[in-house]
Amino acid sequence: MGLSLATAERWVERWERQQQRYAVDREERFTVIGDVVEQTVTGGPATPLVLDLGCGPGSLAARLARRLPQADIVGVDMDPLLLELARTHHPDAARYVDAVIGEEGWTQALRLDRPLDAAVSTTALHYLGVDALHRVYRQLAALLRPGGVLVNGDHFPHDDTRLAELAGCVGRRHAERGHALAHEDWASWWTAVEQDPELTDLIAERGRRPRQPKTAAADSAARLSVSAHQRLLRQAGFGHVGVVWQYGASHVVVALR
Ligand SMILES: C[S@@+](CC[C@H](N)C(=O)[O-])C[C@H]1O[C@@H](n2cnc3c(N)ncnc32)[C@H](O)[C@@H]1O
C-alpha cells in the first residue's frame, strides 16, 4: 500500500482547499484551537500528550505539531485512505491510530501511556450519534488529566431557527468573499481520489470496511445545537464549558476538566 510523498502531498493540498467550503474561517479556527491548547499545556508536563479525534489526513495534528514541537500527538481516524495520507504527508506530526471513535475498545486502541493534556477535533464529532457522543465525552473526561482540555471546532446549528438561518448566511458570505466556494466539494474530491491508480488498494480497503450505521437524522449529533453540546459536556464531568470563538455556525467549544 506504499504511497509516494508527491501523491500524498497533492491529495492533502486538495483536501485542505476542499475543506474550506465546510469550515468557515478554517485556518483561523485551527489557530484558535492551537492558542487554547498552548495556553493549557504551558507550565504543565514537558511532553504534553494531545489526541486529535477524527484527524483525517492530519490537518490539525500537523498544525499543532508545528506550534508545539515538544508535544506527543496521537491522531485517531477510521478511514484507511485518509490515515495513509496523514502517515505519508505528515509522518512526524503524530502517531496515527486506526479506530472507530465510540466503538467498544476504541480508547484502548489508542495505547495511551499517560493522561491526556488535551483532546482536539475539527469537523468530525458531528458524525457520531447522540448516544455515542455522550459516551465519548464521558470517556474523554476520564482520559484527560485534571486541568486538561477538550477543544472542538465544528459547525453547530443555533437553537433558534431564524438565528440558524442568519448564521448560515454569515458563513456563506465569508466563504464567498474568501472564494472558498470556488474549491471542489467533498463528493468531487472523493470521485477524483477513486480515479487515482496509486490509491486503488486504499480505496478497496475503504470499501471492505463496515460502513458506520447511518444514524437516523433525528439521532445525529449534526443536529445538536452548541448549547446541547455544552449540556452533554457538563453531564460528562467537565467543569468549565463554553464557546471561545465563533464565525457563523462554526464554533470552537472548550471544556476543561
Ligand atoms: C470532515 S473530516 C475532518 C478531518 C480533519 N479533522 C480536518 O479538519 O480536516 C471528518 C473525519 O472524521 C472521521 N470520522 C468520522 N467519524 C469517525 C469515527 N466514529 N471514528 C473515527 N473517525 C471518524 C472521518 O473518517 C474523517 O476523517
Query: Where along the chain do its domains lie?
Result: 5-256
Closest by Cα among 60, 14, 59 to 185: 14
Cβ atoms of 230 and 134 closer than 8 Å: no
How are strands ordered across the β-sheet holding 49-53?
A: 95-98, 72-77, 49-53, 116-122, 144-155, 250-256, 240-247
Mean pLDDT of the chain: 93
Calpha distance 257→240 (Å, rounded) = 7
Q: What is the pLDDT of residue 103?
A: 94
Measured in Å, residue 81 CA sits from the centre of ligand 1 at 12
Q: How many CB atoms lie within 10 A of CB 191?
A: 11
Q: What is the pLDDT of residue 182?
A: 84
List, for the chain, all residue ranges whose pLDDT scores fall below the cut of 50.
214-218
Q: Which atom number of ligand 1 is nearest to the Cα of residue 132?
A: 19
Q: What is the pLDDT of residue 181?
A: 84
Q: What is the pLDDT of residue 1?
A: 55
Alpha helices in the chain (DSSP H): 5-19, 26-41, 59-67, 80-89, 106-109, 130-143, 161-177, 186-194, 200-208, 226-235
pLDDT, tens digit, 9 for 90 and up, residues 108-139: 999 999 999 999 999 999 999 899 999 999 99
Measured in Å, residue 78 CA sits from the centre of ligand 1 at 7
Pocket, ligand 1, Cβ cutoff 6 A: 19, 54-56, 59-60, 77-79, 82, 100-102, 122-124, 127-128
Measured in Å, residue 143 CA sits from the centre of ligand 1 at 20
What's the topology of domain 5-256? Answer: Rossmann fold (3.40.50)
Q: What is the pLDDT of residue 241?
A: 97
Cβ atoms of 103 and 127 closer than 8 Å: no
Calpha distance 62→67 (Å, rounded) = 9
Calpha distance 234→187 (Å, rounded) = 36
The pTM for the full model equals 0.95
